[in-house]
Structure formats: structure tokens, C-alpha cells
Chains A and B, each alone.
Chain A
Amino acid sequence: MQITLRTFANLKDIIGSRETTVTLTPGAELSDLFDFLDNTYGKRFDRQIRDQRTKEIVPFLILINNETFRSVADMNRPLKNGDVVTIMVPFDGG
């Protein structure tokens, strides 16, 4: 199945564009998308989403078709063909 991945800022710099299409196995969950990105972009991607001391994913939000999910709680959320997934960069402050 195919999903549309959208992002911006540092993650866009690494992926190369604001929007791209990702092919995943049917039945994939959000965590499978992140595994794909880890495998494809390696350390550069890892540094954007994980604390490098604890290696844990830090909190940030993910939109699936404009519905909000949390990196710290919703990684087993199933994806389906045609989903639009937007990954927010982990940013505190402002």
C-alpha cells in the first residue's frame, strides 16, 4: 500500500521534499513507517526524532488525514492505503 508522507524543516531537508510517497506492506502500522524512515535515512533521521542519550523517541505529533496522534502513545496505529501522514518536527519552546 502507498501513503503520502508530508513534513517540513529538518525532516524535509533529510527526505528531500515536503511530500513523498512511501510504499509499505499492507497492514502496516505507524511504527512501520518510522522503521522505513530509519532504514532509509539512518543516523540523520534518528537524530531528528530520538534523544541520543536514551535512544527513545521524543514527544511530537503526527497527523494522519488531519487527525492528531502522539509519538509517545500511538505508534501502533494502523495505516491504510492512501493515508496522508504528516510528521511534525519535535520542537519545544517558542
Chain B
Amino acid sequence: MSNISLKYKGYIGKILRVNLTDKTTRNFQITNELAEKYIGGAGMAARILYDELAPGIDPLSPENKAILLTGPVEGTMIPTASRVGLYAKSPLTNTFFHSSAGGHFGPEMKFAGYDGIILEGVSNKPVYLFVDDGRVEIRKADHLWGLDTTMVQEQLFEELGSEELQIAAIGPAGEKRVRFACVICGSRALGRGGLGAVLGSKKLKAIVVRGQGDIDVPDMRRMKYLLDDLFSRFNANPSTSEILPRYGTPVLVNANNTLGLFGFNNWQDEFYPEAEGLSGDTMRKELVRRDKSCYACPSRCGKFSIVEKGSNKGAKVEGPEYEDIFSLGSMCGHNNLDVVAAAERLCDDLGVDAIEAGVAIAFAMECYEKGILTDADTDGVNLSFGNDDIIMDMVTNIALRKNKLGDILAEGVKRAADKIGKGSHDFAMQNKGLTFPGHSARGMPGFALGYATGPRGASHHDGRPTGERTGFVKRNTIEGKGEYTAKINHLNILTDSMILCHLPEAVWGPLDITEIIVRCINTTTGMDLTLDETKKTAERIWNLIRAFSIREGYRREHDTLPKRFMEEPIKTGPSKGMVISQEMLDYMLDQYYDFRGWDRTTGIPSKEKLLELGLDDIAADMDKYR
């Protein structure tokens, strides 16, 4: 039954609520206020989880809830309206976490009759959820438990008698509660934050959706003109029309390395002389067999690759993406793209975040280099940087918690450094528990501020590297970076709430929310938001998420960077000498908090700011923490 009380289009109007403990289901109706104030995706999920999760709960306990959610645009033909987000309190960071994926799952879930699914409680036995055109079943999954994510999908295709399904599944890593376990949708990953472990803790192996519904918009003629405009912009922009389709994200290997911004040997340096072997050019020539698109996207940045030589010959992968190449390649000190591709596939199959896994291996390699870990700790394995022979085994050991070192690293580098000690925190390249992806902090001050203040920790989707990396703004200054970073936060969290992909950010922004985004929301939903109101909505969501973090104990002192980024200047290459000192970071933090109306000492949003944003209840909550 549709939600007749919701006046806005684009939405289905209801979210399925599934209690895995007592196996009951009911509907959560999206209200006009929820849509108006939080749009969908990350914003709506943050509001629901702020209201429904008690502070301080264990993310892997039955008290945590996970939400799969789309936004109003999913299922329309707005470019990149393909996404689905997964939201929960993260076992890696203990913060509200959102991770989204392209592909086809998001639109299919809406066609199946729901904007999203709230998953609560814990099943006593493995189960999977099947949402088939409005019909909901919780089915036994004992026979699926232990299977990797590819095998789960193949098994479900077979037993459900169709491949016209979209499946989100965890692998063995999620079952074993690896703190950075992911969820795989088709061949796309809800990658970061360990949300696969949350599903594993609930004994939920997979969610299957299939549907034939459609999406209502208020005025098809108006939508047609919007789509004409959007596709024209995508076709005109060099990034979305030329670079992404040809090379995908791996083009960044040469781009970042040429600028001296490419993490190498656990960020001991940012210029890798042998990076060409990992480049988009090499990958296109040696690995890529065809291009792939997500639903409604003209940019086809996905690359289907096959390894043609070496011990991993025959490995097939959608990717590897830039982040995989960074984490499983240069961070571990080697440039064997075949190994990277195979290891990325292994990460997907076993269900771990490839960024976190690669950085964990690099962290262990530096421990080994410094003598903090010895052959006795590694079962005799030579963990030297550059030894690409051990990458596959290390991924397996971590994802399956197969040996003592793998079990330690499966907790994430922050907890691993807690356990290993001996000064290893100095080079545990994380913030708030989340490891740094492949974009420099030292070489881009505004982006460093985005990393430091990121509510998810070191995510490259809270701040963004693009403005400084492409020259929209000067990268060799800290002046003005507080406002710069805050506006990019707002652009990101708004697109994460609609939900749109960040890769075409030149079309959406890239430095602030623009009119084209407002048109996307209004044309899809029938809202009548102005640009200022839309910016206010994004700011509201950002403050809500900050309040979630405050409630969990995060303050200004947690808005920081690893010692390496603040005390060790980049050693070689075009960015040699760049560093973000504590003094520089403090200056930018003051700018950032001032722009936001947050207290400089604590980082808590001011009462006035929260009231201005219509977050009256949260203003009262925050009084407890001032």
C-alpha cells in the first residue's frame, strides 16, 4: 500500500522495518517533515538512527540497527541515480556511518516497493531477506553461511530461478565480524566502515530485491527538460565524457603521482617512481576488457578486467578502482597490477573493504620493517614492503581471521596499534578508526581538514580532494580552507542524501551546492526549495551527524591527523616538504568551527546554530555535553 500521506513524489513513501529477532515486519511511513528536513539516504538514516539508537551501544550488539536506504532520485533517469546507502553505527569508528554503492540494487529496491529497509534485532540462525515486488520473506540461510559473496549470489540466482534479481550479500568476513567487513551488491561494494560486520552480527547473509514498480515524478515534461540539461552537461564535461569513460578512477595513479600526492609504503612518501606499472594507462592496456555502467549513468567508469598472466591468471574483477590500486599496491610497496586486481577480487569475495585491508597490510609491513613485528609474529612470512607474493595470503588471513596476525589486523589498524604498541600508533594511518584512502592530506590542506573533521574518520567523501587537486582553489595555502571544507561537506552530504554519485562532482558543484542539484530535488519530488533552503538542509544534516558523534564522545581533540602527516614532511617529488603541522591544523579548525558556529574548544555545535537549523530537540540534547 502506498503512503498516501506523503505529498512528495520520487519516494515510494515507505521503508520496510524487519525485526530479525522475532521475524516480524512492518512499514515505516516517510513523513513530509522527514523528507523536507533530511531528503533521504544519509540524512534520513542519520535522523532515524539518532532517534532509535541509544548512545554508547556496541555496534555489533542486537541494539544496533542497519538501514539500507535510497533517496528520492533513485530509479529516475537522473544521471547516477543508481545508488543505495547502508547506514549503522560503525564497529570501526563508533560513529554514524554511511557507505553507498552504485550498480542496480538501489533502483530495484524501489521498484520492489520500498525506499529502504531497517534491519533490527538479531536472528538466532542465518537468514536472508527476500523482497519480491512488495512481498517480504525472511528465509533460512544456513546453506549460504560460509559462502563468499559471488557464490551466494550464484546460489540465490539458481534457487530463485532467475538472474533478474539484485542481491546485497556479506562474505565470510562479515560473518566473522571483521571490523571492516563490507557488503557486496552485484560487483559493487558498500565498502567502508565495517557495516558488513553489523549484518553478520545479525546473522543476515543477504538481501534480495526484485520488482516491477515505477517511480512517480510530479511533471514528466519538466523532468524531460532537466534530463536534457543534465545529459548535455555530462556529455560536455571532459571528466565525465572523456576521462572517466576511458580510464575510470585509475587515471588518478598518474595524476596523483605526478603531483607527488600518491601514498607509498604506508605513506612514508608520496612519490612512487615505479607507479607507471599501476597506472590507468597500464591497466587499460593489460587488464581491461570492457567498460561498465551503473544504472542511469552515461559515464561508464566501471572497468571489467581479467588477469592474463602470472599466478593469478584468470582472475576476473570489476575494477580495480584507484583506491584498490593505492591500498593493495603502492601502499604495500609494489607495482604488480595483476596482484592488485586479483587481491581486489578476493577482498570482494571474502567481503572486506579493500582500502582498509590494504592499509592494514601496509601497517603490518612497516611494523615488520621497524622490527616491531618479527618472523615469530608473521609465521615466518617475509612482510617486507614490495613483497607482492604475500598480498593474497594476507587478505585471506585477515578476512578469515585465519592466524594471530590476521586476527589482530581484522580489528582495523587503530585497534591493531593498541594491541601491538611499541610506537606503532605513530604510523597507524587512520583517523577515528578509519584508514586514509589514496588522497594526500599533507599536500592538500583543505582536504586534510576534511579528513580531520570527517564524522566517519578519514573518509575521502566528507571532504574532497578535487578542488585543490585540479586547481579550482590554491592548494599551497591554509587561508580560507575552513569555509571551503564546510561547503564541500554540505555538497557531499546533500548528494549522499539524494543519493547521487560524487564522481561527476564538476557537474554537481564542485565547491558548493549549485542550482542544478536544487532542480534535481524539486523536479523529482515536487518540493519548492530555494538554493539557500537546500544549503540549509545540508547544513542541518551535517550538524545532526556531528551531534551523533558528540553523543558518542567525540570532541575537537579527535578532529586530528596521524603523527606522520603532522610531523614528517613529504620526502620526495613535486610536493616535497609539504606537511600539515599541528599549528596549521589548529588554525584551520578554528576557521572551520567559526564558520559552522561550533564551539572552538569542544567542537560541539552551538545552541543557536542548532535552533537556527530547526534541530530543537538536538539542541536540548547537546546541552548535556557542554
Contacts and interface: CB of A to CB of B under 8 A. Distances in A.
**Is B one of A's binding partners?**
yes
Interface stretch (A19-27, A28-36, A58-66): A58-66
Contacts of A72: 471-472
Contacts of B233: 53
A89 B255 contact: yes
A91 B506 CA distance: 9
A94 B242 contact: no
Nearest to A47: B242
B502 interface: yes
A94 B476 contact: no
A9 B258 contact: no
Nearest to A44: B242
B476 A68 contact: yes
Nearest to A65: B574
A88 interface: yes
Given A61-B470, A70-B471, A71-B471, A90 B239 contact: yes
Given A58-B239, A90-B239, A68 B506 contact: no
B273 interface: no
Interface residues of B, number: 46
Interface range on chain A (Cβ under 8 Å from partner): 20 to 34
Nearest to A93: B503
Interface in B444-473: 460, 465-466, 469-472
A52 B434 CA distance: 39
Which secondary structure dominates where chain A touches chain B? loop
B243 A63 contact: no
B238 interface: yes
Contacts of A53: 232-233, 236
A58 B237 contact: yes
A10 B471 contact: no
Contacts of B255: 8-9, 88-89, 91
Which secondary structure dominates where chain B touches chain A? helix
Interface stretch (B47-55, B209-217, B246-254, B600-608): B246-254
B484 interface: no
B471 A93 contact: no
A68 to B, nearest CB: 7
Interface string B306-338: 000000000000000010000000000000000
A72 B472 CA distance: 7
B241 interface: yes
A72 B471 CA distance: 7
Nearest to A87: B258
Contact of B258 (A10, A58, A86): A86
Nearest to B507: A92
Nearest to A18: B281
Nearest to A74: B471
Contact of A59 (B232, B243, B470, B573): B470
Interface in B223-238: 232-233, 235-238
B238 A93 contact: no
**In the complex, the 7 A-B pairs of residues with the closest C-beta atoms, listed nearest first:** A93-B503, A70-B471, A52-B236, A53-B236, A8-B254, A92-B506, A66-B574
Interface of B: 232-233, 235-244, 246-247, 249, 251-252, 254-255, 258-259, 279-281, 301, 322, 438-439, 460, 465-466, 469-472, 474-476, 502-506, 510, 573-574
Given A9-B247, A53-B233, 14 more contacts: A8-B279, A8-B280, A10-B247, A47-B241, A53-B232, A54-B236, A66-B574, A68-B475, A88-B258, A88-B259, A91-B243, A91-B255, A92-B239, A93-B301
